[in-house]
Amino acid sequence: MSLTPRIAIDAMGGDVGVRMMLAGAAMARHKHDGLRFLLVGDEVQIKAALENHPNLRAASDIIHTDGVVTGEDKPSQAIRKAKTTSMGLAIDAVKRGDAGGAVSAGNTGALMAMAKLALRTMPGIDRPALAALLPTLGDNDVVMLDLGANTDCDANNLVQFAVMGAAYARTAMGLEKPRVALLNIGTEELKGTDEIRDAAAMLRGAEGLPMQFAGFIEGDKLSRGDVDVIVHDGFSGNIALKTIEGTARFVTDLLRRAFTSSTRSKIGFLISRPATELLRHHLDPNNHNGAVFLGLNGVVLKSHGSADAKGVANCVHLCAELIEKDITRQVTEDLANFRSGDAA
State how far the Cα of 217 lies from the Cα of 203, in Å rounded to an integer: 14
Quote the pTM value. Answer: 0.87
Mean pLDDT of 278-291: 68
CATH T-level topology, domain 1-121+295-324: Isopropylmalate Dehydrogenase (3.40.718)
Taking only the tens place, the pLDDT of each residue in 147-197 is 988 888 999 999 999 999 999 999 888 898 999 999 999 999 889 899 999
- Nearest-Å Rg of the Cα atoms of the chain is 21
Query: 229 or 336: which carries more pLDDT confidence?
Result: 229
> Do 126-291 and 1-121+295-324 have the same topology in CATH?
yes
282 pLDDT above the threshold of 80: no
Q: How confident is the model at residue 13 (pLDDT cuts 50, 70, 90)?
A: confident
- pLDDT computed for residue 5 by the predictor: 79
Q: What is the rounded distance in angstroms from the CA atom of residue 42 to the CA atom of residue 39?
A: 9
CATH class of 126-291: alpha beta
Q: Domain map of the chain by residue range?
A: 1-121+295-324, 126-291
User: What pLDDT is attached to residue 341?
Assistant: 54
Local confidence band at 1 (pLDDT 50, 70, 90 cut-offs): very low
